Amino acid sequence: MPISIDLLILLTATWAVFASSFLAHELGHAWAARWLGCRPGDIEIGFGPGIKLGNVTFRVIPLQASIQTLGDPSGWRVSAIALAGPAASMLLGSILLLLGAAPGLFHGLLQGIGGLNVAIGLFNLLPVPPLDGWRAIEPLVFCRLGKPNQQQQIFMHKAGFAFLGASGIIYLALRGIG
């Protein structure tokens, strides 16, 4: 069954909105890292196969993103870099919501994309590994315990993903969708 051109355009536009929203978020981290004397590395957007353009790799399913920070930020610098991504998302979202407040041709589109960016920013503030909220409080949590080793970090991130996934499933089930 051939895919219709309308569906292809819709899928491409949806991909572009999500990819650019996550890119704006990661650029917030990059800006903060550079401002604080660290060198931002490569940005990865999404899962699956992708294409690298400069230092950004865009993948087929743009539902997550990450950036490498070269150098070794510590203490409050880690927190500042972590919080810069959600701040960038919420700033972009707020601007789009304000632009979409006036009735016009792109009112609904601007409101939708603005809301998406605010949601990305707020979601990333949750204090759950591997989200930015966790990265922001991690120096405080481990200031006396010492930094966890790589195996412990991997476990915490897997547990965080499991928690987020289970929470999403429970939420959908309670809403009657799942």
pTM of the model: 0.85
What tokens does 104 get?
């016009």
Cα maximum dimension of the chain:
60
Q: What integer pLDDT is reported at residue 178 of this predicted model?
A: 47
Range 55-63 average pLDDT: 94
Q: How far is CA 81 from CA 9, 26, 58, 93, 106, in A?
A: 35, 10, 22, 19, 33
- Dump pLDDT digits (tens) for 66-96: 998 887 777 789 999 999 999 999 999 999 9
Q: What integer pLDDT is reported at residue 1 of this predicted model?
A: 67
What tokens does 153 get?
């970090």
Half-sphere exposure of 149 (CA within 13 A, CB side): 1
The single residue listed with the structure tokens 């996934």 is 165
Range 143-159 average pLDDT: 80
Using N-to-C axis directions, what is the helix angle for 107-124 and 5-35, rounded to 10°? 50
* Across 53-57, 131-135, 141-145, 165-169, least confident range: 141-145
- Dump pLDDT digits (tens) for 24-46: 999 999 999 999 999 999 999 99
Q: What integer pLDDT is reported at residue 173 of this predicted model?
A: 84
**Cα gap 62→165, rounded to integer Å:** 17
**Cα gap 63→83, rounded to integer Å:** 19
